[in-house]
């Protein structure tokens, strides 16, 4: 059996009699060495060079593995881009091959979950459920409750789409039981599950069970500041009581919901104003003050349930940290933003920032992957001017990597995008 990069490093380390800390030599933490040896982290070329020197082994011994790993990661990211671009059918064969090979252990669960998403998007619900069953089985063996909860909720949604409502309720009740047994269950996520369960019971005309679920969600949310979710629960309880002709209680809950929604609209505008002010402060050179204000905005949006605004703030923080050359912080905020942002134009900008971070840190392959995704999302958003800039940047990266063919191809596409932009502005060449 072919050894992985991590297995090779571990074997040589043991032969040399090094501990993980000794191999790191103060430059790399024992935890990072452990992650690399378990194939749960992919070292940069600079780090691999350091490790090879410590192990007195030519770097070429590892480079084949690095190249293969890089190719597979590139394939995985490309499949993810296809999925995000609304082309799940094209992503399926790539993900299926990666799943079959199991050559990216650090991404295996993520690959399977993305494959299930593709199957679901393509209407292949049976295969989506079967793929998630495999992930669930592994998570149960490892007692990974976070993954178990995530998968059970997704399986419930799949069964709901298949109109297999008893099985959907079964999966969600199972997740509900795990939340009850957990020591520190996330009240927001738990409440969201109960709201989905309540909505399905309500759809089935099971108003008693629906009311119970909403009341349990209300109890969880009562100890939080998630006013939007509280208002939504009030509104749904009002609907249920109206269905059962309890008009007094229906009116009472409707009034509570209305009052909260009105106050939230005012709060949202005030936070957005603070966000704009923070960005201006940073542009004027008052960077620290701008960052602190944006961090306050993050807390406020989270506190009041404006989840759709969180990605925008993380994006603003990423740009500031990039300009200040705080590259790891810039990377962190980009990744956090991508977890919540769905708008194609915003995602394109975030990937462009990630590409700039990777280029500055000398990770050309990562930079090219991110820049390619930026191009795909600008194209999806139909923004030719930004698309032209994205192609120009991608062309520079290809040139730096020595890939002149793709560099010229990117520049040709840049020219085409610029022509489209000029035509849209009424300028004919």
- 247-341 and 358-429 share one fold: yes
- The 10s digit of each residue's pLDDT in 9-40 is 888 888 888 888 888 887 778 888 888 777 77
Tell me, what's the pLDDT at 250? 87
> Is residue 60's pLDDT more than 80?
no
Stated pTM of the model: 0.57
Sign of CA dihedral 219, 220, 223, 225: negative
| Second-level CATH architecture of 247-341 | Alpha Horseshoe (1.25)
Cα-Cα end-to-end distance for the chain: 60
- The 10s digit of each residue's pLDDT in 375-388 is 999 999 888 888 99
> Is residue 212's pLDDT more than 90?
yes
| The two structure tokens encoding residue 246 | 């309890």
> Is residue 424's pLDDT more than 80?
no
The domain defined by 358-429 carries CATH number 1.25.40: yes
Tell me which of 70 and 59 has the higher pLDDT.
59
In a 10 Å sphere around its CB, with 0-12 CB exposed, 13-18 middle and 19+ buried, how is residue 129 labelled?
A: buried
Q: Which of 231, 234, 338, 320 is nearest to 283 (CA)?
A: 320
Rounded average pLDDT over 200-227: 90
> Is residue 1's pLDDT more than 50?
no
> What residue segments make up the domains of the chain, in order of their start?
1-81, 247-341, 358-429
Cα dihedral 19, 23, 27, 31 in deg (nearest 10): -50
CA angle, corner 324, sides to 322 and 328, nearest 5? 50
Residues 6+ apart with CB under 8 A from 68: 103
**What CATH fold (topology level) applies to the domain 1-81?**
434 Repressor (Amino-terminal Domain) (1.10.260)
d(CA 376, CA 309): 23
Q: How confident is the model at residue 3 (pLDDT cuts 50, 70, 90)?
A: low
d(CA 414, CA 393): 9
- The 10s digit of each residue's pLDDT in 81-113 is 888 878 889 999 989 988 887 666 667 888 899
d(CA 399, CA 175): 50
DSSP 253-289: HHHHHHHHHHHHHHHHHHHHHHHHHHHHHHHTT-HHH
């Amino acid at each position: 059996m072919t050894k992985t990069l991590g297995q090779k490093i571990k074997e040589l380390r043991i032969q040399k009699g090094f501990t993980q800390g000794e191999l790191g030599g103060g430059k790399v933490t024992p935890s990072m060495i452990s992650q690399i040896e378990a194939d749960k982290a992919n070292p940069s070329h600079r780090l691999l060079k350091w490790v090879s020197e410590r192990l007195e082994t030519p770097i070429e011994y590892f480079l084949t593995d690095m190249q293969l790993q890089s190719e597979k990661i590139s394939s995985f990211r490309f499949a993810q881009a296809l999925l995000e671009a609304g082309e799940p059918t094209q992503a399926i064969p790539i993900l299926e091959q990666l799943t079959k090979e199991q050559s990216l252990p650090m991404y295996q669960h993520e690959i399977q979950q993305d494959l299930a998403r593709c199957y679901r998007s393509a209407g292949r619900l049976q295969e989506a459920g079967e793929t998630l069953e495999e992930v669930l089985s592994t998570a149960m063996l490892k007692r990974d409750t976070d993954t178990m909860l995530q998968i059970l909720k997704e399986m419930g949604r799949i069964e709901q789409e298949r109109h297999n409502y008893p099985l959907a309720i079964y999966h969600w009740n199972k997740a509900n039981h795990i939340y009850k047994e957990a020591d520190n269950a996330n009240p927001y996520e738990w409440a969201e599950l109960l709201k989905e369960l309540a909505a399905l019971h309500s759809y089935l005309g099971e108003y008693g069970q629906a009311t119970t679920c909403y009341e349990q969600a209300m109890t969880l949310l009562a100890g939080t500041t998630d006013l939007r979710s509280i208002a939504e629960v009030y509104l749904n309880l009002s609907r249920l009581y109206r269905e059962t002709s309890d008009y007094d209680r229906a009116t009472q809950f409707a009034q509570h919901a209305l009052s909260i929604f009105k106050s939230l609209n005012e709060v949202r505008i005030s936070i957005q104003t603070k966000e704009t002010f923070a960005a201006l402060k940073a542009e004027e050179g008052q960077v620290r003050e701008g960052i602190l204000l944006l961090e306050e905005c993050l807390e406020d949006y989270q506190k009041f349930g404006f989840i759709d605004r969180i990605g925008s703030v993380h994006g603003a923080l990423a740009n500031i940290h990039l300009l200040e050359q705080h590259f790891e912080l810039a990377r962190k905020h980009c990744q956090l933003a991508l977890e919540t942002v769905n708008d194609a134009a915003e995602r394109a900008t975030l990937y462009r920032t990630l590409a700039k971070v990777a280029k500055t840190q000398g990770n050309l392959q990562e930079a090219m992957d991110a820049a390619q995704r930026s191009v795909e999302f600008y194209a999806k958003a139909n923004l030719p001017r930004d698309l032209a800039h994205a192609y120009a940047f991608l062309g520079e990266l290809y040139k730096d990597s020595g890939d002149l063919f793709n560099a010229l191809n990117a520049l040709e596409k840049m020219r085409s995008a610029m022509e489209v932009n000029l035509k849209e502005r009424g300028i004919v060449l």
